[in-house]
Amino acid sequence: MFRALAKTCIACAYSWTSVGRRQDAGSAALPFIVGYHRVVEDFDRSARHTIPSMLISSTTFEKHIDWLARRFSIISLDDMDQHLENGLHQRRPAAAITFDDGYADVYRNAFPILRRKGIPAATFVVTELIGSRRPQIYDRLFMMLSDRVAKGESPRLVALRLLRSLRLKSRAIENLKPQHDRPYAVMTLLLSRFPQSAVASMVAALESDTAQDASVLDELSPMNWDMIGEMQRNGITVGSHTRTHALLTSEQSSRVSQEVVESKQALERRLNTPVHHFAYPDGRCNPGIVEAVKSAGYKFAYTICQWRDQKAPNLTIPRKVLWERASVNVFGRFSSALMSCHAGGFFDSTSACEHDHSSRNPVGK
């Protein structure tokens, strides 16, 4: 409670200072790019069985959009070339709206709002999942670990049993502190430390003896090609988010190349248009991965932090990921002051990026 109150007070003070107003108005050529994942009808209901920080309700999302539209010129990512050339000379700062992962609820709940308001956006999709009705691998892992918690088990101990059965080790899991022994923390460590093939084996082992809720699986389903095509025809740029949502810093270089090249080819073949935009899954990238994205032919690529590769700045464009609670003050109401802090980068300046963007391969650490 105290932390939320302090954050609200600081945000209000920041938004009223000259520094806050200048940054809110924008001074750099780069647009303020916001990123979302899922847009749901009822946040509290969906948060009971899926990852809360991936969610925003359609009501709150519309408040975000209206706030942005009052302060920024909302551009399409397809206009990025023109904006980077002329952005400093525009009267209003620019913003762009993006969605990661290709959830069908973006089509159902966000797309109608954007279309009604005439606002462009972009969606980065995982091509192997399109039309499959299969949830993302991290959603499946989170659900299985949460199921074990409901049964009174420790996520850490569940993970250690899985690692032993697969003859794998992780010092990070072994040394996890009790206060961090939660499904999301354990899920994040497993995804960070092991390639997707190993994580898939863990998920399969957990799912083999667990009945899954069909309604939850349906809620997590990805878009199909018809949905993506309709969005594209109505002002939504479609970009790549890899073939399988593998975290690229956990994969070997051959797999990285496969993920970025094959996803681009699949989209261009099906949509019959060039694909220029790429979003790194979970923002995980380093100079070697950036080079692979460049070699695949992408013109622009997007992270979720402030790290920039000086040799390829257009392939490490920062975004701000927002969710339901990102803009809510201590009273539980939408806060323009908090949105100003996000737009001005106030919260970014207080903490370093949680990801390692060096070329060191973290697999198995």
> Of 322, 229, 324, whose CA–CA distance to 271 is shortest?
229
Would you kindly state where each structural domain of the chain is located, as residue ranges? Answer: 2-132+224-350, 137-216
Quick: pLDDT tens for 229-266.
999 999 999 999 999 999 999 999 999 999 999 999 99
Q: Which residues of the chain have pLDDT under 70?
A: 1-28, 87-90, 349-353, 360-365
What was the pLDDT predicted at 365?
Answer: 37
The span from the CA of 267 to the CA of 255, in Å, is: 18
What was the pLDDT predicted at 89?
Answer: 54
Quick: pLDDT tens for 202-220.
999 999 988 888 889 999 9
The span from the CA of 145 to the CA of 347, in Å, is: 30
Quick: pLDDT tens for 33-72.
999 999 999 999 999 999 999 999 999 999 999 999 999 9
What was the pLDDT predicted at 18?
Answer: 41
> Of 123, 117, 115, 127, whose CA–CA distance to 96 is shortest?
123
| The residue type at 132 | S
What was the pLDDT predicted at 92?
Answer: 84
| The residue type at 229 | G
The class that CATH gives domain 2-132+224-350 is: alpha beta
Output the CA–CA distances (angstroms, integers) from residue 196 to 31, 192, 193, 292, 365, in the order listed.
33, 9, 10, 18, 15
What was the pLDDT predicted at 7?
Answer: 55
What was the pLDDT predicted at 357?
Answer: 83
DSSP string, 171-192: HHHHT--GGG-SHHHHHHHHHH
Is residue 314 a contact partner of residue 300, using CB atoms and an 8 Å limit? yes
What was the pLDDT predicted at 224?
Answer: 98
